[in-house]
């Protein structure tokens, strides 16, 4: 099994992937919080997102986080096909799984909580499952953002395609900022520092 500690920063590239669905229909939905985090990182670090090389289905941008080289990836596939975007980009930039970070929504994590995981199962998340299938395993990093549980008997697939309430949206804007901080900490200072920050998040 792959180590759960990121390799030392020796100038190798990290791939940071935000999962979500493309198009204005899905903006602001629970399923798209991963894309929101990548967009925020792009703004913070002045990284422009443009068409991916080799016709991969994503917008990508190269830059640095605290002198660590990164490639930000916003797939333009639908969630269930995320792996079709991630795998060719990882191959193009020669990024191994231990330097890939996938940030995504999670209904089994309490609302507003952030978890840092490595080399775990897909947790029933179709986007993560797609990435794992195309990469040949799940030995990548995951930043899981709790987006709440569907009420009553509502289908989870419908729930994650809904937008947040006004109060939830204000809280989630804060959580997205912290998730971006956690990713910065992971690639710069390692897993322990990232997990400490994630665990200290309070709404």
pLDDT digits (tens, 9 = 90+) for 31-87: 999 999 999 999 999 999 999 987 899 999 999 999 999 999 999 999 999 999 999
pLDDT at 1: 39
| Cα distance between residue 144 and residue 109, in whole Å | 7
Q: Where is pLDDT greater, at 26 or 12?
A: 26
Task: Compute the mean pLDDT over every residue in the chain, rounded to the nearest whole number.
Answer: 93
CB distance 18 to 43 below 8 Å:
no
Mean pLDDT to the nearest integer, 102-124: 93
Mean pLDDT to the nearest integer, 173-183: 98
pTM score, whole prediction: 0.92
pLDDT at 8 over 70: no
pLDDT at 178 over 80: yes
pLDDT at 9: 56
Mean pLDDT to the nearest integer, 92-97: 96
For strands 141-146 and 14-18, give the pairing. unpaired
Mean pLDDT to the nearest integer, 96-122: 94
pLDDT at 10 over 70: no
Choosing from 31, 104, 118, 125, the catalytic residue is 31
For the question of residue 31 being annotated catalytic, the response is yes
What domains are defined for the chain?
14-199 (3.40.50.1470)
State what percent of residues in the chain have pLDDT above 90: 87
Report CA-CA distances (Å) from 136 to 43, 155, 175.
32, 29, 31
pLDDT band of 2, cuts 50, 70, 90: very low
| Cα distance between residue 124 and residue 130, in whole Å | 11
């Amino acid at each position: 099994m792959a180590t759960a500690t990121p390799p030392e920063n020796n100038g190798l590239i990290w791939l940071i992937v935000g999962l979500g669905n493309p198009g204005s229909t899905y903006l602001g939905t629970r399923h798209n919080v991963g894309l929101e985090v990548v967009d925020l990182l792009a703004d913070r670090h002045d990284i422009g997102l443009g068409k991916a090389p080799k016709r991969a289905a994503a917008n990508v941008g190269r830059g640095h986080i605290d002198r660590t080289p990164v490639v930000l990836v916003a797939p333009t596939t639908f969630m269930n096909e995320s792996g079709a975007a991630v795998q060719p980009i990882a191959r193009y930039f020669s990024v191994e799984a231990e330097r890939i970070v996938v940030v995504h929504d999670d209904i089994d994590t309490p609302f507003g909580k952030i978890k840092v995981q490595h080399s775990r199962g897909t947790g029933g998340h179709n986007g993560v499952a797609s990435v794992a299938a195309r990469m040949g395993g799940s030995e990548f990093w995951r930043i899981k953002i709790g987006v709440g549980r569907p009420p009553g008997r509502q289908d989870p697939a419908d729930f994650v395609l809904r937008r947040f309430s006004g109060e939830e949206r204000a809280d989630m804007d804060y959580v997205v900022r912290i998730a971006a901080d956690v990713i910065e900490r992971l690639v710069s200072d390692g897993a322990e520092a990232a997990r400490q920050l994630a665990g200290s998040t309070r709404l």
